[in-house]
Amino acid sequence: MPRTVRDVVFVDGVRTPFGKAGPKGIYHETRADDLVVKAIRELLRRNPGLDPKKIDEVAIAATTQIGDQGLTIGRTAGILAGLPQSVPGYSIDRMCAGALTAVTTVAGSVAFGAYDIAIAGGVEHMGRHPMGEGVDPNPRFVSEKLVDESALFMGMTAENLHDRYPQITKLRADEYAVRSQEKAAKAYANGKIQADLVPVSVRRTNAEAGETGWGLVTADEPMRPGTTLENLQGLKTPFRVHGRVTAGNAAGLNDGATASLIASEDFARENGLPVKMRLVSYAFAGVEPEVMGYGPIPATEKALAQAGLSISDIGLFEINEAFAVQVLAFLDHYGIADDDERVNQYGGAIAFGHPLASSGVRLMTQLARQFEEQPHVRYGLTTMCVGFGMGATVIWENPNFEGDK
With CB under 8 A as the contact rule, the residue among 86, 190, 201, 233 that binds another protein is 201
Contact 294, 331 (CB under 8 A): no
With CB under 8 A as the contact rule, the residue among 2, 145, 214, 308 that binds another protein is 214
The window from 76-84, 159-167, 175-183, 382-390 that contacts another protein (CB under 8 A) reads 76-84
Clarify whether 162 is annotated catalytic.
no
The window from 49-57, 172-180, 204-212, 316-324 that contacts another protein (CB under 8 A) reads 204-212
The window from 100-108, 193-201, 258-266, 297-305 that contacts another protein (CB under 8 A) reads 193-201
82 in contact with another protein (CB under 8 A): yes
**In the complex, least distance from residue 199 CB atom to another protein, rounded to whole angstroms:** 5
Cα distances from 91 to residues 68, 78, 123, 301, 382, in angstroms, run 12, 11, 11, 28, 22
Q: How many CB atoms lie within 10 A of CB 236?
A: 10
Per-residue binding string, another protein, 148-187, x by CB under 8 A, is ----------------------------------------
Size of the site for another protein (CB under 8 A): 21
User: Which is closer to another protein, CB of 47 or CB of 370?
Assistant: 47
**What distance lies between CA 207 and its chain's CA centroid?**
32
User: Which is closer to another protein, CB of 66 or CB of 216?
Assistant: 216
85 in contact with another protein (CB under 8 A): no
Q: Which of 28, 96, 125, 129 is catalytic?
A: 96
Clarify whether 354 is annotated catalytic.
yes
User: Parallel, antiparallel, or unpaired: how do β-strands 254-264 and 19-20 relate?
Assistant: antiparallel
Clarify whether 376 is annotated catalytic.
no
User: What residues between 36 and 65 interact with another protein by CB under 8 A?
Assistant: 37-38, 41
Report the alpha-carbon distance of residue 257 to residue 77 in Å, rounded: 12
- The crossing angle, in degrees rounded to 10, of helices 170-189 and 324-334 is 100
Q: Which of 28, 125, 162, 385 is catalytic?
A: 385
Report the alpha-carbon distance of residue 232 to residue 170 in Å, rounded: 10
86 in contact with another protein (CB under 8 A): no
- Which residues are paired to 117 by β-bridges? 263
Cα distances from 352 to residues 176, 182, 215, 227, in angstroms, run 14, 11, 20, 13
User: Which is closer to another protein, CB of 183 or CB of 204?
Assistant: 204
Phi and psi for 339 in degrees, rounded to 5?
-110, 25
DSSP annotation string for 240-275: STT-S--SSSB---EEEEEEEEEEEHHHHHHTT---
- Binding stretches for another protein (CB under 8 A): 37-38, 41, 80-82, 198-201, 203-205, 211-218
Residues designated catalytic: 96, 354, 385
